[in-house]
Amino acid sequence: MSVLTRALYLAVERLRGSEALALLREIEPLRMLPPDRARALQFARLQALLEHAERRVPYYRELFADLRISSRDIRSLEDFARLPVLTKDIVRERARDLVRDDVPLSSLSEHHSGGSTGVPLTFWREPRYMSASAAGTYRNLRQAGWRPGDMVAFFWGWNDRLNRMSRVEFELRQQLRRMYQFDPFHSGLEAMDRWVRTWNRIRPRVALGYASTIARFAAHVERTGRRLRPVAGVFTTAEKLYPAQRELIHRVLGGPVFDCYGSSEVQNIATECVRGRMHVNADFVVLETDEAGRMADGTAPLLVTSLWNYAMPFIRYRNEDCGALVPGVCDCGSGFPLMELRIARVSDNFVLPNGRVVHGEFFTHLLYGSEGIESFQFHQTAMDRIVLWIVPTGEDGAARERAVRAAVAQVEALAPGLIHVEAREVASIPLSSAGKHRFTRSDVSIPADSGVRA
Ligand SMILES: [Zn+2]
């Protein structure tokens, strides 16, 4: 990368007012703190968060009052472990009481996510959280030698803003932001042929994104005998990374593959190091396991506390993933604690009659946060047929009808005239064999994808 490109990138970031690069400088050395100093830093941040929550957040104010303690009485992680768990049900029922009451809600950004019970939830974040989250991602990329201004191939959910951009505007923005976005919602064979050309033109230093999309791209490149300029590292996130996918990605894209773990509500939870071990980002989260739920394989439900979300503190939050804390210190030089992850999250990719392949995340975001809908599932029963199962709430039938109509139209527009979407209301949606709700489900396998996952 030229000196000029880097200077331009840094100027653009300054103009955007993002604190991410400044925060990166601050957090980058923390990963290499010795374990005792990392623990001390983590606990100091936890105390500051608890004090804030007690003072500014109605739900926690009430909780500390009920327990007849003050946040200052929590002097160790053992004390902390006695606080009640925050479940998704509580977040759903008490959402507004969990938001700090000293800033207007309009100053926060609203987000939605799913969950294994199938009922979506809403949460809020501050601009500073978003900057910290970006800084955390940058710190991950640094492990592969990425420097601010180096190009990132970014396989991530598309949105309407990107759809509305002209080609020229899109190209300019991707070049200036140094994150070139590839669209997992439009990832058929034709699209991936284009990706090969784009990749070799933009010359990414690293790649980042959905494990399934990057693996499908790698499989396509290998099958068609093309060559990609190798990257220094690949960072997968948001869904389960299978061993076969890891090998395939490494073989085709070059560079080591690092799996990163975050959940929708709490990001930057853990990152694989150069030794292939998963380190908890102790400056971003406190991670515990819920021993009451320990399973035969030694893992237990995770309880995660975000040390950065002051807008809506998540404290001892059961995010519905499972894992284990691993004792010992890694020889990579990082003093951050170790963990093992057992993540079940899998998004199905839908293949449509026009050859378009659409990552499951496309569908979920159509209905998250819609009024009158308790839960839903997009189920592809045949290549040209999708059933949208809806569990209605008692209220607001008109809002529900509007939301469903809009979602059906958007899905049918993926392959105009070639697919039919039928919405059906039901009392409940059956869980998967693993006992979890799936927002997307496809009975149609993508012929070219065989072996990508196994
Ligand atoms: Zn390590």
CA of 338 to the centre of ligand 1 (A): 8
CA of 301 to the centre of ligand 1 (A): 23
Residue 116 binned pLDDT confidence (cut-offs 50, 70, 90): low
pLDDT of res. 454 = 47
Distance CA(198)–CA(180), nearest Å, equals 9
Residue 453 has pLDDT above 60, yes or no: no
DSSP 8-state secondary structure symbol assigned to residue 229 = P
pLDDT of res. 452 = 61
At the topology level of CATH, where does 349-449 sit?
GMP Synthetase; Chain A, domain 3 (3.30.300)
**118 backbone φψ class: left, alpha, beta (φ>0; ψ -120 to 50):** left
**pTM metric for this prediction:** 0.89
CA of 277 to the centre of ligand 1 (A): 5
- Closest by alpha carbon to 302, among 120, 118, 86? 86
CA of 449 to the centre of ligand 1 (A): 32
CA of 271 to the centre of ligand 1 (A): 9
Residue 326 has pLDDT above 80, yes or no: yes
CA of 31 to the centre of ligand 1 (A): 10
Distance CA(128)–CA(27), nearest Å, equals 14
Percent of the chain that is helix, strand, coil (3-state, to 5): 40, 20, 40
Residue 85 has pLDDT above 60, yes or no: yes
- Residues 332-345 have pLDDT tens digits of 999 999 999 987 66
Distance CA(65)–CA(294), nearest Å, equals 30
CA of 278 to the centre of ligand 1 (A): 7
Cα torsion angle, 290, 294, 297, 298, sign: positive
CA of 79 to the centre of ligand 1 (A): 28
- Residues 105-115 have pLDDT tens digits of 999 999 988 76
- Residues 351-374 have pLDDT tens digits of 999 999 999 889 988 888 888 898
Average predicted confidence (pLDDT) for the chain: 92
Domain ranges of the chain: 3-33+127-342, 349-449
The superfamily in CATH containing domain 3-33+127-342 is ANL, N-terminal domain (3.40.50.12780)
Find the mean pLDDT for residues 39-60: 98
